[in-house]
Amino acid sequence: MKTNTIPIQTELVLIGGGHANIQVLKSFAMRPIDGLRVSLISDVLNSPYSGMLPGFISGEYSYEDMHINLLNLSNSANARFIHAKITSLNTEHRIIHCEERPDINYDLISINTGIAPDLEQIEGAKEYAVAVKPISHFLNNLPKIDMKIRSPQHSLIIVGSGAAAIELAFAFRTRFNKKKISPRIIIVGGAERFFPELSLKCHLSILNKCKRARIEFKFGQPATKVSSKSVTLASGIKIASDFTLLVTGGLPQNWLKNSSLSLTDDYYIEVNKAYQSISDERVFAAGDVAKVRLQPRPRSGVFAVRAGPVLSKNLRLKLNNSPLQNISQQSRHLSLIMMGNDTVMAIWGKFFMSSKWLWFVKKWIDKRFISNFTNLPKMAENQHRSILLSKNELIRENDPLLEKMFCAGCGSKAAANLLDTVLPKAINIASKLGGDKRYLSMLNTYSDAGEFPLELNLDGKQTIVQTVDSISQMISDPFLFGRIAALHALSDLAVSNAIPLTALSMINIQRAKRNLQESDLTNMLSGALLEFSKAKIKLIGGHTSQSFENSLGFALTGIKKNTGHFESSKLLEKERQTTFSIILTKPLGIGIILAASMRNLVSEQNYQECIDCMLKSNLEPAQFLWKNGALAMTDVTGFGLARHIENITMDLQNHFGVDIGAQLILSNIPIIDGVHQILEKTSIRATLNESNKKATRHLNRSKCKNIPLSDILFDPQTSGGILAIVPKTKATELCKVLSNDIAPSSKLIGTIKFNKSGIFIS
């Protein structure tokens, strides 16, 4: 995220990346407000556009065409993106509870989540049917449909007779035609005909198109039971089914039921004409999850799209404590329904028509909507507007954030009681997430020094190992950042063959009002404590300061046995005759992915692989390698692979007193998916790439010229992998064990030989 020197006064949280909320996010990106932080919470990184789903199924659009990358959109808006599932909402204390992570505080929220299928209505549906919503879940099941529907003898049943069911039936017919198969497609619905509220002529028009496309239909007979091989109708008739899809009405997600919000009888959030909850003025909602009081309307993406601009305006008005704007009553709306063969039916009130030229209109509308959130313009600078919503609270709580002159004395130290409040929460959360309670004891917050009783006998055979590391917040999720910062620091002890003992924290927390600082620090410390407890290391003290951005570091202490490994003359003679291999346990490219992410050029899968890579601990792989004959080891971090190899060979050279070099096989180096393309087609590199290149002194650069992939050697890593030197005779087996269980990306990337100096690339 970009550094903002304005302290945070107010937190606007967008729950769900639906059609309305993404417009809110872009609105605040184009016209930001000083002192306002926007956060988006979503359980998916890519938000599907429902209007393009039939086109995707029929092969007209790709996955990328129909999805909006929420991470990229958040980056452009300088908003936090938090990848999490909501479990409950506490409106009294304005807290959002999430699955397997700390809570998120808010001042104002906008809810625009999808609906979940009501699988309890039909017996067996939960086990044997797939709902079309949420769309992300349906798309994951699309390959299963292709596997099960492969011949004219197979059948696909679509339960539901509305517009979505019609579009799906035609889309699958086109999909199957392209595969040159002609299975049965059957629409089953409880309605007496298509669109009972419209004229019979409209129904007959759709019916004729279904017949021409060999789409069967069963009206007035709702499905009552689904099994693995059939669907049973209310009349008792059983229809063979190899795959059953549900396009029936869904319900809002379960977490809403436990909130104190006023809900309709069917659990939708009841909102007024300003999309504001009728029971809580700080909660707004739109799209499938909400129902406007006294204005019933169908579940349609059209209304969510149209809600976006009004919702954005009303959130701004609320932040300014100004009267809200009501939506106008809409008696009719335009529906465009895909009917196969590039034909679209338009329905406007009681009027309808079908035409091929309407397909071009629909494509233009859909692509235009998607491009608004993928081809992002340069966002505007802050306009220095004030936020009135939180001002009274700041005054009432005497929050020092209101001080016009911020004193940065004593290292901008944070409030004395901030840690007293946060630490018990963080310890409790880490414990609930599986942290070992023995390593989660409460700190002495009255002293800057910490003590830890050393139980091991210091008889000259043990050495104390200390290390320190700190990183700025490079991802917007503070909980994941806390985990990554702890693992990043812990790596230095792991590769030193030390047993971790204690940690001291070095925290810079962004200036914000008290409850938001508490939330951020609780998230960061919970993540760090969780990883430290897994490593059996105790946090015993530290220092917390205020700054313009979050950063987190740790000074760690461990203990190791003195083995005299390099000092043995007999071992020296033995090692000189041995060829050693180089193992790397994690893929490279973290710096490049993070740099590309800031420019909105990273896919969902590549970004997630990068995060997963940083969240893998190096402790177990390091212990395994040390126990199995590793000669030397380091972790690959900010200096990049080439400089770390240079450092480890120079260290060996100093110990053995002979030239030692490394031969690297560029094609063997594991790299995060997507990095090859960025290296070859763009000039995007991490900031430290060029300085790392200049700092690597003993690299034979002749093989690196004009090879973009060679830049991976200088890419800085955060919580990167282990670089281990092991005997060649053991290397293949060690790498196999690592890749099967402990460190899945482990690869043999080269060799080390005595009497040869420098780093060579092949």
Give the pLDDT confidence of 480-491 residue by residue, as tens digits.
999 999 999 999
Query: Taking residues 221-243, what's their average pLDDT?
Result: 92
Residue 408: pLDDT over 60: no
pLDDT above 90 coverage of the chain, percent: 48
Q: What phi-psi label fits residue 674: left (phi over 0), alpha (psi between -120 and 50 degrees) or beta?
A: left
Residue 755: pLDDT over 60: yes
Residue 573: pLDDT over 60: no
pLDDT band at 172 (very low <50, low <70, confident <90, very high): very high
Residue 77: pLDDT over 80: yes
pLDDT single digits (tens) 21-62: 999 999 998 889 989 999 999 999 999 998 899 999 999 999
pLDDT above 70 coverage of the chain, percent: 86
pLDDT band at 183 (very low <50, low <70, confident <90, very high): very high
- Quick check: 572 and 631 in contact, CB under 8 A? no
| Residue type, position 324, single letter | L
Task: Quote the CA–CA distance of 319 and 33 in Å, as a whole number.
Answer: 10
Give the residue among 467, 451, 454, 443 at the shortest CA–CA distance from 557: 467
pLDDT score for 743: 95
pLDDT single digits (tens) 116-128: 777 888 999 989 9
| Residue type, position 746, single letter | S
pLDDT score for 455: 56
Q: Which long-range contacts (CB under 8 A, 24 or more apart) does 319-328 make?
A: 319/10, 319/12, 319/33, 319/36, 319/108, 319/387, 319/388, 319/389, 320/385, 320/387, 320/388, 320/389, 321/388, 321/389, 324/274, 324/276, 325/274, 326/272, 326/273, 326/274, 327/273, 327/274, 327/275, 327/292
pLDDT score for 568: 38
Which sign does the torsion angle of CA 374, 377, 378, 382 carry?
Answer: negative
Give the residue among 417, 424, 421 at the shortest CA–CA distance from 442: 424
pLDDT single digits (tens) 387-402: 777 766 666 666 655 5
| Mean pLDDT, all residues of the chain | 85
List, in order of start, the domains of the chain with CATH numbers. Answer: 10-115+252-332+358-374 (3.50.50.60), 125-248 (3.50.50.60), 411-561 (3.30.1330.10), 569-761 (3.90.650.10)
Give the residue among 241, 221, 217 at the shortest CA–CA distance from 233: 221
pLDDT score for 280: 95
Distances (CA, A) of 2 to 14, 37, 75, 381: 19, 12, 9, 12
Query: Taking residues 430-443, what's their average pLDDT?
Result: 81
- Quick check: 125 and 28 in contact, CB under 8 A? no
Q: Which long-range contacts (CB under 8 A, 24 or more apart) does 163-167 make?
A: 163/195, 163/335, 163/337, 164/132, 164/247, 165/189, 165/247, 166/194, 166/206, 166/210, 166/337, 166/339, 167/53, 167/54, 167/337, 167/338, 167/339
Residue 717: pLDDT over 50: yes
pLDDT score for 567: 44
| Residue type, position 692, single letter | N
pLDDT score for 412: 47
Residue 159: pLDDT over 70: yes
pLDDT band at 447 (very low <50, low <70, confident <90, very high): very low
pLDDT score for 303: 66
Task: Quote the CA–CA distance of 213 and 166 in Å, as a whole number.
Answer: 12
Burial 317-339 (b: 16+ CB within 10 A, else e): ebbeeeebeebeeeeeeebbbbb
- Quick check: 511 and 548 in contact, CB under 8 A? yes
Least confident among 300-304, 318-322, 679-683: 300-304
Residue 707: pLDDT over 80: no
Burial class (CB in 10 A: 0-12, 13-18, 19+), 667: exposed
pLDDT band at 754 (very low <50, low <70, confident <90, very high): confident
pLDDT band at 415 (very low <50, low <70, confident <90, very high): low
Task: Quote the CA–CA distance of 81 and 102 in Å, as a whole number.
Answer: 15
pLDDT score for 244: 94
pLDDT score for 586: 97
pLDDT score for 483: 97
Helix (H) or strand (E) holding 493: helix 478-495
pLDDT score for 608: 94
Least confident among 345-349, 364-368, 465-469, 527-531: 345-349
Distances (CA, A) of 10 to 6, 78, 176: 11, 15, 52
pLDDT score for 407: 44
Q: What is the DSSP string of 533-575?
A: HHTT-EEEEEEEEEESS-EEEEEEEEEEE---TTT-HHHHHHH
pLDDT score for 12: 97
pLDDT band at 413 (very low <50, low <70, confident <90, very high): very low
Residue 572: pLDDT over 80: no
Task: Quote the CA–CA distance of 71 and 89 in Å, as a whole number.
Answer: 23
Least confident among 236-250, 405-419, 596-610: 405-419
